[in-house]
Chain A
Amino acid sequence: MKWWLVLFAGLASSGLHALVGWELALIVPVCCTFFVTERAWLQGLVITVFAWCVLMLANYVLAPEPMVRLLPTLAGFINAPAALLPVASMLLAALVGTLAGVLGASLRQLLARQG
């Protein structure tokens, strides 16, 4: 898939995430990877991680000061360093993106015409 397509898919995914939640936003990587055969998991991962990065960045642009307070507060609940939370979020994005990528590719194989 072209890099700009991945970029576009990432933006679309972040938009959907913001509008209807991350669960439904996974439709984007699933659909995109439906059309590829190689390393679909990686494409799903990149699209989703990129989408979550965009949203994280948007948070900092929209509410810079509260964001500075948010991370240590949240991390305090689990006695973890503040930086762990964005990392955990990105790991989660990577996980669900990978799964979405594999799912898309699998669906393509499953639904491919017999020929």
Chain B
Amino acid sequence: MNDFVQSSSPQHDSPPPRARSHERLRAAVRAAVCVVLLGSVMWLLRNPLGGLPPLGLFVDVWHGAYSNARAADEPAKEELSLQGLSAPVKVYRDERGVPHIFAQNDRDAVLTVGYLTAKDRLFQMEFQTRAAAGRLSEIIGEAMVENDKYLRRTGMMLGAERSWAQILDRAAKGSTSATVGKTMLEAYSQGVNAYIASLGEPEMPFEFRLLGVKRADIEAWTPLKTLLINQLMALDLAFTIQTTDVKIALLETVLGADAVAELYPDHSPMPLPHNPEPKGVMRPASVVYTRSTEALARSFHDVQTPHDAQNTIPQTTSRQKSEDVQLAEHLRVLSRIEAALAAAGCEQSEGKGSNNWVVAGARTQSGKPLLAGDPHLNLSMPSIWYELHIVTPAMNVYGVTIPGAPLVIIGFNDAVAWSPTNTGADVLDFYSITFDGTQQQRYRHNGEWKPVREEIRPIRVKGKPDVLDTMRFTHWGPVITQHKQTLAIRWTAHEASSIIEAIWGFNHARNWQECSEAQRKWDVPAQNIVYADRDGNIALRSCGVYPIRQKGHGRGIHNGSTDEGAWTGYVPFDSVPASLNPERGWLQSANQEPVPPDYPYYLGYNWTNPWRAMRISEVLATTSTLKAADMQALQLDVQVQQFRQMQPLMKACGALERVADSTKHRALKHLLAWNGVASQESKETLLFKLFWDTFTRRVWDELPDSLAGEVPPVPSQDVLVNLVLHKPDAVWFDAQHTPEREHAAMICQRALLEALDSLVAKYGTNAENWKWGRHHTIVLRHLLRSSAVKPLWRGPYPFQGFSSTVLPAGGMQSTHSASWRMVADFARGKPEARGVFPGGPSGNPFSKWYDSQVQDWLAGRLYTLYKPASAQEFSSGKVSQELIFKP
């Protein structure tokens, strides 16, 4: 082949010196221009521009995102050194990428779990702990500073620090369970840190690189971070319901107290407690205060208040604002907190909740228990859950954990299975605070001025100077100030928690007694945990701590200047709602009020409507030969209870006779004869949705459009249905804009006619276009939620279901639904289970295991959860990767 490019040849004729000098100058200019241009390109590729990620991430074919793609393809066999192990650990990833960890002791297993979860989900772990600590500005930037301030003021860090301090203290004093907890937390951290230490800049999780976060910004994992993960979970499950009671209090000024009591009752008008029958219910014990008021107060406030004359408040106080104005301002503060929570991924959303149930052998085909659970949380990419299997001489446990937590949170071992739902109890109170002057150094309490404790911590901001943040604490808890209004927060998550010890207990439990002991340590977040074991027991207990208030309830904003809203203790463990082996042979929870109205303690209000619980109860009560497939089918059940309740009125209201148009007539006729199943193919669901929205809007036309700038809370659906069924002439059915007096049937008729008009106007006359799945979708958003990272989302996918069906899918584009489905079957003695979650093991968006389970989840398929007792038993055909960790 010829020369590709001509070689240089010696120059025979040298140019004159002047020309040469000129040539050299031109060369110098050319070189300088090249250097400047190359420098500019280098700078452009390395630095983010205008909020965009660094361009090098997209175009550098080796160290850009391509390096994340290469990291996604793991070798079939790998041997790694893992510092801190006492013996080799073998890990098999099965054909779904689920790690099965075979270790010679628990500590080694947990250390390996730390390494693996970090390898698969480091960004998620870091993002969530930074959210909980109010440190999102560090990775996202200046825009998050205000949110971080609010997140810090929820007190998540306070509780985590207390928990860790208590574990250390109790371990030092010889507590076995605290020592175990400490060991687990430290081993897990060590495993995570071993992975972090192995990371180079190009191997950093893709999202960090998108955000322009540098390797040096990734700090070591600590036990505190694991505890923060639990705090964030508690926040997600408990904090987001708090604006409702302020809104309801404000509504009293519009509607009156009686009306509010009718529309927003403390107890559901259609109660469905976990277990209505006396037998099997563990009866509440007499009230025993677990801690004194003083002890509780001290735990929040280290400063002792001297009782001297100087601290006594003068009788003349500043002018009080009217209560309504104050409530409106409180509402604004709370709404601002909710906005900050949403930025951290904790949103109030239709569909958030969970189901679980357990059936005794007397009602199953096999004669052995069945257990099912499906927590309904934000469906994110990567998933909130991480599936794993841990085998040590002390346990063989399988299930899901939250990345950042060391052990299985929902799962089963060789003897027992368990699954939680959110109790939704009132475990958080707000107290209005009156400061002495603008310096906020003292606050009023029981006729005295008490000192405020101040804590100044910096907020590190990406690419900007640190912002100093002064947090203030009263004996109630951290305070939030906005527009001169100050609220203090008291929350069970501010207390030291022993949740890690509880989870360890569940993982190791061999029988009801051991599991019950573990439940004793379960404090925050409060959860209804169903249980079954190979001895044939079934149980359901609302595990957690529930405050007892001096004034008997936790509704509204308490006056922080007195002790009227003070916590005087917790509901004793033996008195929390619990049932063991009920005569009817099954137990269920679906976030409904767990107890009948005569339960002696206040647990909360604002419970989820009973539709899911109603449907689950119906199926479990009517079948006596249940099998695992029935459990699976029930998890996918989409029968709309609202329709079933409304159907008689819809038929009787006379709407059909008033429809002249043949297309509309046919549509309504089909709706009235509908079986209520909101499948993707159903054409009736869309019309029912239009009707239900219209009906609700028409009935609640008395509610103001805006309540201090916020949307007022719509009464619960069971309140509405209860009125339809039992008070069809209630004043609420009277339309505000007409002179006549309407009743339920008239509003129902108008709503149906309006819905038909909307159906044709919006979706046309072709019935094929009315199929629910064409308009109703589900989307799995990325953790960052931002639409700027939509390529990392999955969906939207056509989806079945309706608001509060057993398989929930509220709204027209759902973001919350079953985040994990599990069915455990004790037919062969030891539990065997099947499960699925939407997502996959890996958080790397270029990995085949990023979204590998999404299609099966959408189709409602479950995987067999393969749980061999040893590495030797592991079927070689199932191995997709073998990892050997050596000390």
A and B part of one assembly: yes
Interface pair A63/B70, CB less than 8 Å apart: yes
Q: Beyond the given A6-B5, A59-B69, A69-B848, please list 20 additional residue pairs across the A-B interface where CB-CB is below 8 A.
A: A2-B3, A21-B63, A38-B5, A39-B6, A46-B4, A59-B61, A63-B69, A65-B848, A66-B72, A66-B73, A66-B846, A69-B69, A75-B791, A85-B59, A88-B59, A89-B59, A89-B61, A100-B38, A103-B30, A110-B24
Please give the distance in Å from A114's CB to the nearest CB on chain B: 7
| Cβ-based interface call for A12 (8 A) | no
Interface pair A73/B845, CB less than 8 Å apart: yes
Contacts A/B (CB < 8 Å), 21 sampled: A1-B7, A2-B4, A3-B3, A6-B4, A23-B42, A26-B38, A36-B8, A55-B66, A63-B69, A66-B847, A69-B72, A69-B846, A73-B845, A77-B788, A85-B58, A103-B30, A103-B35, A109-B23, A109-B24, A110-B24, A110-B31
Interface pair B7/A103, CB less than 8 Å apart: no
| Cβ-based interface call for B298 (8 A) | no
* Chain A residue at minimal CB-CB distance from B67: A59
Which residues of chain B are near A38, meaning CB under 8 Å? 5-6, 8
Q: A26-B38, A36-B7, A89-B61 are in contact. Are A109 and B69 (CB under 8 A)?
A: no
Give the distance in Å from the alpha carbon of A42 to the alpha carbon of B845 in the complex. 37
Give the distance in Å from the alpha carbon of A109 to the alpha carbon of B5 in the complex. 19
Interfacial residues of chain B within 332-350, with CB under 8 A of chain A in the complex: none
Interface pair A107/B31, CB less than 8 Å apart: yes
- Interchain CB contact (< 8 A) of A77 among B20, B23, B791: B791
Interfacial residues of chain B within 384-437, with CB under 8 A of chain A in the complex: none
Which residues of chain A are near B216, meaning CB under 8 Å? none
Which residues of chain B are near A85, meaning CB under 8 Å? 58-59
Which residues of chain A are near B789, meaning CB under 8 Å? 77
Give the distance in Å from the alpha carbon of A52 to the alpha carbon of B59 in the complex. 10
Which residues of chain A are near B844, meaning CB under 8 Å? 66
Give the distance in Å from the alpha carbon of A38 to the alpha carbon of B3 in the complex. 13
Interface pair A102/B62, CB less than 8 Å apart: no
Interfacial residues of chain B within 1-24, with CB under 8 A of chain A in the complex: 1, 3-9, 14, 17, 20, 23-24
Which residues of chain A are near B58, meaning CB under 8 Å? 74, 77-78, 85, 88
Please give the distance in Å from A115's CB to the nearest CB on chain B: 6
How many positions in chain B have a CB within 8 Å of any CB in the partner chain?
49
Please give the distance in Å from A96's CB to the nearest CB on chain B: 6
Which residues of chain A are near B287, meaning CB under 8 Å? none
Please give the distance in Å from B156's CB to the nearest CB on chain A: 32
Interface pair A99/B37, CB less than 8 Å apart: yes
Which residues of chain B are near A22, meaning CB under 8 Å? 60, 62-63
| Cβ-based interface call for B551 (8 A) | no
Interface pair A59/B5, CB less than 8 Å apart: no
| Cβ-based interface call for B131 (8 A) | no
Which residues of chain A are near B790, meaning CB under 8 Å? 76
- Interchain CB contact (< 8 A) of A70 among B5, B42, B66: B66
Q: A73-B845, A106-B28, A110-B24 are in contact. Are A99 and B5 (CB under 8 A)?
A: no
Q: A26-B38, A59-B69 are in contact. Are A39 and B5 (CB under 8 A)?
A: yes
**A-B contact count, CB below 8 Å?**
146
Give the distance in Å from the alpha carbon of A100 to the alpha carbon of B45 in the complex. 16
- Interchain CB contact (< 8 A) of A1 among B3, B41, B847: B3
Give the distance in Å from the alpha carbon of A42 to the alpha carbon of B59 in the complex. 21
Interface pair A55/B8, CB less than 8 Å apart: no
| Cβ-based interface call for B792 (8 A) | yes
Please give the distance in Å from A7's CB to the nearest CB on chain B: 9
Please give the distance in Å from B74's CB to the nearest CB on chain A: 9
- Interchain CB contact (< 8 A) of B7 among A2, A99, A102: A2
Give the distance in Å from the alpha carbon of A7 to the alpha carbon of B8 in the complex. 18
Interface pair A1/B4, CB less than 8 Å apart: yes
| Interface band, chain A | 35 or more
Interface pair A102/B845, CB less than 8 Å apart: no
Which residues of chain A are near B20, meaning CB under 8 Å? 114
Give the distance in Å from the alpha carbon of A88 to the alpha carbon of B45 in the complex. 13
Which residues of chain B are near A46, meaning CB under 8 Å? 4-5
Interfacial residues of chain A within 58-84, with CB under 8 A of chain B in the complex: 59, 62-67, 69-70, 72-78
Interface pair A109/B38, CB less than 8 Å apart: no
Q: Is the interface of A mostly helix, strand, loop or mixed?
A: helix
* Chain A residue at minimal CB-CB distance from B60: A22
Which residues of chain B are near A64, meaning CB under 8 Å? 73
Which residues of chain B are near A31, meaning CB under 8 Å? none
Please give the distance in Å from B621's CB to the nearest CB on chain A: 47
Give the distance in Å from the alpha carbon of A69 to the alpha carbon of B71 in the complex. 13
The 8 closest A-B pairs by CB, nearest first: A76-B791, A3-B4, A109-B27, A63-B73, A106-B31, A103-B34, A66-B72, A66-B69
| Cβ-based interface call for B65 (8 A) | yes
- Interchain CB contact (< 8 A) of B73 among A23, A36, A65, A89: A65
Q: A22-B63, A66-B70, A66-B73 are in contact. Are A74 and B791 (CB under 8 A)?
A: yes
Please give the distance in Å from B479's CB to the nearest CB on chain A: 41
- Interchain CB contact (< 8 A) of A3 among B1, B35, B38, B42: B1
Give the distance in Å from the alpha carbon of A96 to the alpha carbon of B789 in the complex. 29
Interface pair A35/B5, CB less than 8 Å apart: no
* Chain B residue at minimal CB-CB distance from A86: B61
* Chain A residue at minimal CB-CB distance from B36: A99
Interface centre among A56, A65, A100 (most CB of B within 10 A): A65
Which residues of chain B are near A52, meaning CB under 8 Å? 61
Interface pair A99/B27, CB less than 8 Å apart: no
Give the distance in Å from the alpha carbon of A101 to the alpha carbon of B7 in the complex. 14
Give the distance in Å from the alpha carbon of A64 to the alpha carbon of B27 in the complex. 44
Please give the distance in Å from B554's CB to the nearest CB on chain A: 46
Interface centre among A77, A99, A103 (most CB of B within 10 A): A77
Please give the distance in Å from A36's CB to the nearest CB on chain B: 5
Interface centre among B17, B72, B846 (most CB of A within 10 A): B846
Give the distance in Å from the alpha carbon of A64 to the alpha carbon of B69 in the complex. 9
Which residues of chain B are near A17, meaning CB under 8 Å? 62
Please give the distance in Å from A94's CB to the nearest CB on chain B: 12
Which residues of chain B are near A100, meaning CB under 8 Å? 34, 38
Interface pair A99/B38, CB less than 8 Å apart: yes
* Chain B residue at minimal CB-CB distance from A5: B4
Which residues of chain B are near A102, meaning CB under 8 Å? 30, 34
Which residues of chain A are near B38, meaning CB under 8 Å? 26, 96, 99-100, 103
Please give the distance in Å from B40's CB to the nearest CB on chain A: 10
Interface centre among B58, B788, B844 (most CB of A within 10 A): B58
Give the distance in Å from the alpha carbon of A17 to the alpha carbon of B846 in the complex. 22
Give the distance in Å from the alpha carbon of A72 to the alpha carbon of B31 in the complex. 38
Please give the distance in Å from B230's CB to the nearest CB on chain A: 32
Interface pair A96/B41, CB less than 8 Å apart: yes
Which residues of chain A are near B23, meaning CB under 8 Å? 109
Give the distance in Å from the alpha carbon of A63 to the alpha carbon of B35 in the complex. 35
Interface pair B791/A66, CB less than 8 Å apart: no
Interface centre among B9, B24, B792 (most CB of A within 10 A): B24
Which residues of chain A are near B5, meaning CB under 8 Å? 1, 3, 6, 36, 38-39, 42-43, 46
Which residues of chain A are near B69, meaning CB under 8 Å? 59, 63, 66-67, 69-70
Which residues of chain A are near B45, meaning CB under 8 Å? 92
* Chain A residue at minimal CB-CB distance from B20: A114
Interface centre among B14, B34, B791 (most CB of A within 10 A): B34
* Per-residue interface assignment for chain B, residues 840 to 851, with 1 indicating a CB less than 8 Å from any chain A CB and 0 otherwise: 000011111010
Give the distance in Å from the alpha carbon of A102 to the alpha carbon of B61 in the complex. 23
Which residues of chain A are near B3, meaning CB under 8 Å? 1-3
Please give the distance in Å from A105's CB to the nearest CB on chain B: 8
Which residues of chain A are near B66, meaning CB under 8 Å? 55-56, 59, 67, 70
Interface pair A74/B65, CB less than 8 Å apart: yes
Give the distance in Å from the alpha carbon of A56 to the alpha carbon of B67 in the complex. 11
Give the distance in Å from the alpha carbon of A88 to the alpha carbon of B64 in the complex. 13
Give the distance in Å from the alpha carbon of A102 to the alpha carbon of B53 in the complex. 30
Which residues of chain A are near B41, meaning CB under 8 Å? 92, 95-96, 99
Please give the distance in Å from B781's CB to the nearest CB on chain A: 14
* Chain A residue at minimal CB-CB distance from B851: A69
Which residues of chain B are near A92, meaning CB under 8 Å? 41, 45, 59
* Chain B residue at minimal CB-CB distance from A35: B8
Which residues of chain B are near A89, meaning CB under 8 Å? 59-61
